[in-house]
Amino acid sequence: MLPDGYDISGYFTCEVFLTIVRQSASVPNTGPIYQSHVAEIGHFSSGMMGDKLITSLDGIEFLTALTSFYIALSQITTLDLSNNTELIAFAIYNGPLTTLNVSNNPALIRLHTGNNQLTTLDISNNPVLRELVVVGTQLTTLDISNNPALRWLLAAHNQLTSLDLSNNPVLDVLYVENNFIASPDDIIGWQDLFPEYDWSINLGAVGFYRIFSFSPQIQNITPTFTCPNFLSHIRTLTNRPDPLPISQSHVQNITQISAPNHNIQNLSGIQYFTNLENLIVQGNNLTELDLSGLHNLRHLNASNNNLTTLDISDATALTALSISRNNISTITGLDTLANLEVFWAESNAFASLDFHPNAPLERIDARGNTPPLSPANITGATAVTLQDYDPAGIFRPRTWTRLRILSGLAL
C-alpha cells in the first residue's frame, strides 16, 4: 500500500483514462494525484471523453470505491478488477479485450460485455450476479453453476456447444441464438424454466415473465477438414485463424478456391462450399476427389495429382474440366455434363469416354492416354467429328470461337 502523500499519476499509462480520473476527482490537469483524491470515485464512464479511446486501464486498482463502470468502445486487451471489490455494475463493449478478471468482485450484480475476443470468463465468485450479457464474444464454454441469482443471460453469437441451467432457478430471460448448440436439449434444465417452449415449431418463446430465444446450431465444420494443409488454406481464405472454429456460414458464399501446389492430401470439407464455381487444385497429392453437393461448380482443374477414379455426378454445371496427368481409368458422371465445352485429360488410363450427347464440346485433349484412345472409344461427343481427330489424341473443332473465350481461365 502506497502512502497517501505519494503521487500515483504515473500509474495511469493511458492519457485518456488519466484525464477522466482527474475530472472525476476534480484534480487539475497538472499536478499530482493522491489516493485520497480517487478513493471516493464511485462511477466511471468513458463517455466523458467522447470519441477518444482508452488503451489501458492501468491505475484502476486505486479506484477502490468504484461501484459502476461503463466503456462503450476501447482498445483495452486485458482488465483486472481485483482491487475494485465494491463494484456492482460493469459494462465494456466493442474492442480487442481477451482477458477479464472479475474473480474478486463478490458484489457484482450486472456484468455486460460483448463484441470482443474473450474466450473464457470465470464468474464462479460472483454469487449475486443477476444480469450477464456476453454477446458476440469467442466463448466456447460458460459455467453459471455458482450464480443462483441470475435472472438475465444473453449469450448469443458465441461458440457455445452446451449450457447447464440446473443451478439457476430464477432465470427469466435466456438468449442463446447463433451458437454451436444443436438443440435446446443441449441446454440442461431448460424444460423446468421454460416449459411452454416448443422448439420443434418455434425459434423463440415468450411467456408473461420469461423469454427463451434459441436458434438452430451453427455447425462447427472445422473437424471435417482432415488435411492440415487444406484447413490452413481455408483458414486464410475465410480469415478464421486457429483456434477459431469454421462454420458453414463462413464458406457457403465462397465461389473460388485456388490452391495449386499446396501438398494437399484430400479435400474433405469441400462439400460445404455449395456456391463454389471455380476449383483449382492442380499439383497436389489428391488420391480421391468427392464433388458431392457442388452443383454450381463450373471449372475444375485437378491436373497433376494421383487420382485413379473421379465422380463428377453432382457437378452438372461443369463447362471446363482439366484432369491431365493423373492415372484415372474411371470417370463417373461425364455423360451428365450437358454444358461441358473443354476437356483436358491427357496422360491418364481411360479405356473409353462417354460424353453427354448435347454437350457443346470445343476440345477434347486425351494425348498420352494408356492405351491410346480413338474415336471408337468415345461416345456422345457429337460436336467433335471423326475428321477432327488426329492420331496424337487431340480432337479439334473447325471453329475456335468458343475456345478463345475460355482461353483466359486458369486451367
What whole-number distance in Å separates Cα of residue 3 and Cα of residue 14?
Answer: 23
Structure confidence by residue, pLDDT tens digits, 66-104: 999 998 888 899 999 999 999 999 999 888 999 999 999
Q: What percent of the chain has pLDDT over 70?
A: 85
Residue 271 has pLDDT above 90, yes or no: yes
Pairing state of beta strands 211-213 and 204-206? antiparallel
pLDDT at residue number 196: 65
Residue 363 has pLDDT above 60, yes or no: yes
Structure confidence by residue, pLDDT tens digits, 217-231: 567 889 999 999 999
Q: Specify burial of residue 371 (Cβ count, 10 A radius: 0-12, 13-18, 19+).
A: exposed
**What string of DSSP letters covers 375-402?**
GGGEES-TTS-GGGB-TTSEE--S--HH
Q: Which among 215, 196, 192 has a CA at the least distance from the CA of 205?
A: 196
Residue 311 has pLDDT above 90, yes or no: yes
The average pLDDT across 128-156 equals: 95
Among 34-48, 186-200, 245-259, 317-331, the range of highest mean pLDDT: 317-331
Q: What percent of the chain has pLDDT over 90?
A: 53
The average pLDDT across 17-31 equals: 86
Instruction: Tell whether pTM > 0.75.
Output: no
Residue 199: C-alpha distances to residues 50, 171, 192, 232, 238 (Å): 43, 18, 14, 36, 31
Length of the chain: 411
**Ordered domains of the chain (ranges, CATH):** 9-213 (3.80.10.10), 222-406 (3.80.10.10)
Residue 347 has pLDDT above 80, yes or no: yes
Residue 152 contacts by C-beta under 8 Å, 6 or more apart in sequence? Answer: 130, 131, 132, 133, 171, 172, 173
What whole-number distance in Å separates Cα of residue 159 and Cα of residue 136?
Answer: 9
The average pLDDT across 240-257 equals: 87
Q: Which amino acid is residue 367, in one-letter code?
A: R
| pLDDT range class, residue 386, cuts 50, 70, 90 | very low
Residue 339 contacts by C-beta under 8 Å, 6 or more apart in sequence? Answer: 316, 317, 318, 319, 359, 360
pLDDT at residue number 104: 97
Residue 1 has pLDDT above 90, yes or no: no
E-assigned strand segments in 242-361: 256-258, 278-280, 299-301, 309-311, 320-322, 330-332, 342-344, 353-354
* Mean pLDDT of the chain, nearest integer: 84
E-assigned strand segments in 290-344: 299-301, 309-311, 320-322, 330-332, 342-344
Pairing state of beta strands 187-188 and 163-164? parallel
End-to-end CA distance of the chain: 71
To 10 degrees, the CA torsion angle through 164, 166, 172, 176? 10
Percentages of the chain per state (helix, strand, coil), in multiples of 5 = 15, 20, 65
The average pLDDT across 183-209 equals: 64
